[in-house]
């Protein structure tokens, strides 16, 4: 069975007829052609596919596109939208070397964006708790935590 699904991604509407079993991550990557969102473990463990659904961090490999019908999705491609260049969290990852291979980075950035929207000055333990759903195999997380702290400090300055 197929359903006509209309999802706003980064404030642009994408309307496609898709199979009901289409996962949101496949809608984003294959219908909307936004391939910044990665598929890592494909089993809701690693968080590489994290996007914001109506502002909340979710794992898009564990949602059906039909479940997101009529809702707003934000992906990594939308992060720079309201900034000249990189958003504070993206700049933080650059300044503090929050990535090596980069595979987990889109999901990390979206989970960090959700965290900072909810809690502008998170403690180190709050950062680590908020990133429990995102796995990085390169950095040991130390630099990612510092990247979030960099972005939080930057937001205070602005």
At closest approach, how far in Å is the CB of 107 from other proteins? 9
Question: Positive or negative, the Cα torsion across 79, 80, 86, 88?
Answer: negative
At closest approach, how far in Å is the CB of 111 from other proteins? 7
CA distance 88 to 90: 5
Interacting residues toward other proteins by CB under 8 A: 1, 3, 19-21, 23, 26, 42-45, 47, 50, 53, 56-59, 62-64, 66-67, 111, 114, 129-130, 132-134
Label residue 48 left, alpha or beta by phi (over 0 means left) and psi (-120 to 50 means alpha). alpha
At closest approach, how far in Å is the CB of 93 from other proteins? 19
Instruction: CB nearer to other proteins: give 67 or 123.
Output: 67
Instruction: CB nearer to other proteins: give 3 or 95.
Output: 3
Question: Positive or negative, the Cα torsion across 32, 56, 59, 49?
Answer: positive
């Amino acid at each position: 069975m197929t359903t006509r699904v209309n999802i706003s991604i980064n404030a642009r509407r994408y309307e496609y007829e898709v199979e009901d079993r289409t996962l949101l991550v496949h809608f984003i990557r294959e219908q909307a052609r936004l391939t910044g969102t990665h598929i890592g473990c494909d089993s809701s463990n690693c968080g590489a596919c994290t996007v914001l659904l109506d502002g909340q961090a979710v794992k898009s490999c564990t949602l059906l596109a039909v479940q997101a019908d009529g809702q707003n999705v934000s992906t990594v491609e939308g992060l720079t939208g309201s900034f000249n260049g990189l958003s504070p969290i993206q700049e933080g990852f650059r300044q503090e070397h929050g990535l090596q291979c980069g595979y987990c980075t889109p999901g990390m950035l979206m989970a960090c964006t959700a965290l900072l929207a909810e809690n502008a000055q998170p403690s180190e333990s709050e950062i680590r708790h908020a990133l429990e759903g995102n796995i990085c195999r390169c950095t040991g997380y130390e630099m990612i935590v510092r990247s979030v702290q960099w972005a939080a400090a930057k937001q205070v300055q602005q």
